[in-house]
Every structure is written in structure tokens, then in C-alpha cells.
Structure 1
Amino acid sequence: MSGFVAGDIPASGHINTDPFWPSIDLENLRATLRIDSSVTPARLETAVISAAISVNRELKTWRIEQQAAGFTKLSDVPGDIVEDIPEQVHLYKRAIEAATGAEVCERYRSYDTTNTGNHKAEELTPNIDDYRRDLRWAIRDFLGRNRTTVELI
């Protein structure tokens, strides 16, 4: 995937999951990840839904605890504010973006099976790993856990 955007990208909408979590603006996500028009809106929506299911499952226990404490949505949970938005909202969206980026990169490999396509797939592999790392870090930051676990053998 490159930063070049070829052609017009159809208008996007929002992905809404559990009312506790903020909606995901597909157009904003596309711009943040620099996803060009070769990824159709339907493919992007599918990738975001998959990401949301995965992230929401990982954060389910935390969400239940917050709802038991009386918070009906993530933005109501007390915490630090960054750019007028709760830090937890930023981290949640970052996790969704990273999971979506990895999914799109993995699927992008199947576009072209020529030597050029194989070379492009090899170039994307570090990006996929980077997105997976960013996803793990966003989840760990969200939960207030250390990013790295070191164990002596």
C-alpha cells in the first residue's frame, strides 16, 4: 500500500459495535492508514468489523467492569484527556486502526500473484508485523499494562 490515492474514494460511513465503544469513522480511518482506492469500501468495512470484534473481545472484561461502575460509554470513563478526547478513546481507535491495517495488508497480498506481486508482498510483511505490534501496544496501553514482558529462562 502506498500513500498515493488513485481515483475517487466513495463516501464512507461509521462502524458501530456495542454502544459503550465509540463508532469508527471509515473515511478517517482510511486517511489515517493511507489506504488508497484499490481497497474497496466493502473490503475496508469487513476489515474494520473484524478488527472491532477482535479488540472488543480482548477488552470485554474491562468494559464490563466499567459498566458495573456506572459508565455507559468509554468517553465517560475518567482518565487523561488528549486534544479534548479521553486517552482511552484514542487508544481504542488506535487498536482498531492497527488491526485493520494488518488485515488490509494481509489481504492486499492476494491481488497479484506475479513476480511483482510476490515482491510487493515481501515489502508489506514488515508493515503487517508493525501493525500487529501497534495493536498489542495499544491494547496494553489501554489496559495500563507494560508493553514488554521479559522472562529469564
Structure 2
Amino acid sequence: MSGFIATGSTAEAYVISNDGFWPDIDGATLRAAIRLDGSISDARLEVAAVNALIQVNQELRGLKASHQADGHAVLADVPADRINDESCLVLLYRRAIYCTAAAELSERYRSFDSTAEGNRNAEELTPSIDEYRRDARFAIRDLLGVGHCTVELI
């Protein structure tokens, strides 16, 4: 008898290497953090994570240059508060990556099922996608040391 379960989990750890300054991303930890089961393959998760790394790293290019100019070789070396013996800056960076990847995966998930039930599920996912994007934006802005809101008078 077969024990195949389509939504099982993948337990193998793998690391997505970053540029040296920003921390690497552990694929298994990312999967657990955004609560993905095995229906999203490691390859698909890696594509979303790499895209998130590219986007977030580009947005934080100036911050990286500033920290490196101050003599910090890696983000974890930048003086910051610590939680669970880990730099808050590293935690915020990871949050930005995780939320950006989760938003992309949620958007792609919408295309799996075009039935009426799939359309209802897609509508239910829209707030999650927006919330993931918001959380990523907040983490990036916290890293940059700027507020979460921009207001202009017309």
C-alpha cells in the first residue's frame, strides 16, 4: 500500500546563499515560518526566495553601503538590540524576505485552480497577499529607520 501524501512536508534543509553582508536564508526555516506544506516544491520556494532577496537587497543597497563604510562586514555585526540572542536587524531582514516570498507564492497559488471554489479561495488570499506586502514594507522601513507612513499635502 502506498503512503504517498500530496501535501506532505519536505524536511531536507537547504540554504539559499546571499551576498555575504546580508544573512543567508534557510529554506526549511522559511517554509516553516510562512507555514507552507509540501504542495509548494523546494524549487518553487527557492525561486520566490531568490526573487525576494534580489528585491529587498536592491532596496537596502544604500543601507548596506553605509554599514560597510562604518566597518561592519555583515549585518549581524551592526550594533542593534538583540532578541533571542539574535540581532533585531537580522530578524527584520529575514521578515522582509519571508513576507516578500510569501506574497509572491500566495499570488502564484491563485493560478492553481480556476473553478468557482478556486476563485473564492483567491478572494480569501487577497488580504493575506496585501498583509504580507505590508509586513515586508514595514520591516524594510524599520531597517532604514524611517516611519511606516508617508504623507504629502496636495
TM interval, short-chain normalised: over 0.9
Q: After TM superposition, give the deviation of residue 129 of structure 1 in Å.
A: 0.3
7-16 or 54-63, larger mean C-alpha shift: 7-16
Residue 48 of structure 2 contacts residue 104 of structure 2 at CA under 8 Å; is this kept in 1? yes
- Report 1:111-126 matches (<5 A): 111-126=112-127
Segments of structure 2 that go 5 or more residues without pairing to the other structure are: 1-5
Q: Hey, what does 2:47 align to over in structure 1?
A: 46
| TM-score normalised to structure 2 length | 0.92
- The alignment partner of 1:93 has SS state of helix
4+ residue segments displaced more than 3 Å: none
Segments of structure 1 that go 5 or more residues without pairing to the other structure are: none
Q: Hey, what does 1:88 align to over in structure 2?
A: 89
6-15 or 121-130, larger mean C-alpha shift: 6-15
* Counterpart-to-counterpart distance in 2, 1:106 and 1:120: 11
Residue 9 of structure 2 contacts residue 37 of structure 2 at CA under 8 Å; is this kept in 1? no
* Counterpart-to-counterpart distance in 2, 1:46 and 1:32: 17
* Counterpart-to-counterpart distance in 2, 1:125 and 1:8: 24
Q: Hey, what does 2:108 align to over in structure 1?
A: 107
Whether 1:147 aligns to 2:148 is yes
- The alignment partner of 1:146 has SS state of coil
Q: After TM superposition, give the deviation of residue 66 of structure 1 in Å.
A: 1.0
Q: After TM superposition, give the deviation of residue 11 of structure 1 in Å.
A: 1.3
Q: After TM superposition, give the deviation of residue 131 of structure 1 in Å.
A: 0.5
Read off the aligned partner of 1:39 and give its amino acid letter. Answer: I
- The alignment partner of 2:30 has SS state of helix
* Counterpart-to-counterpart distance in 2, 1:44 and 1:142: 24
Q: How many residues align?
A: 149
What is the percentage of aligned positions where both structures have the same residue?
50
| TM-score normalised to structure 1 length | 0.93
- The alignment partner of 1:119 has SS state of helix
Q: After TM superposition, give the deviation of residue 117 of structure 1 in Å.
A: 1.1
* Counterpart-to-counterpart distance in 1, 2:107 and 2:64: 29
* Counterpart-to-counterpart distance in 1, 2:152 and 2:80: 31
Q: Hey, what does 2:58 align to over in structure 1?
A: 57
* Counterpart-to-counterpart distance in 2, 1:133 and 1:115: 28
Read off the aligned partner of 2:130 and give its amino acid letter. Answer: D
* Counterpart-to-counterpart distance in 2, 1:42 and 1:27: 12
Could you report, residue by residue, the CA deviation over 1:59-118 in whole angstroms, capped at 9, with x for unpaired residues? 011101111211110001111111111110000000001101100000101111111111
RMSD over equivalenced CA pairs, Å: 1.3
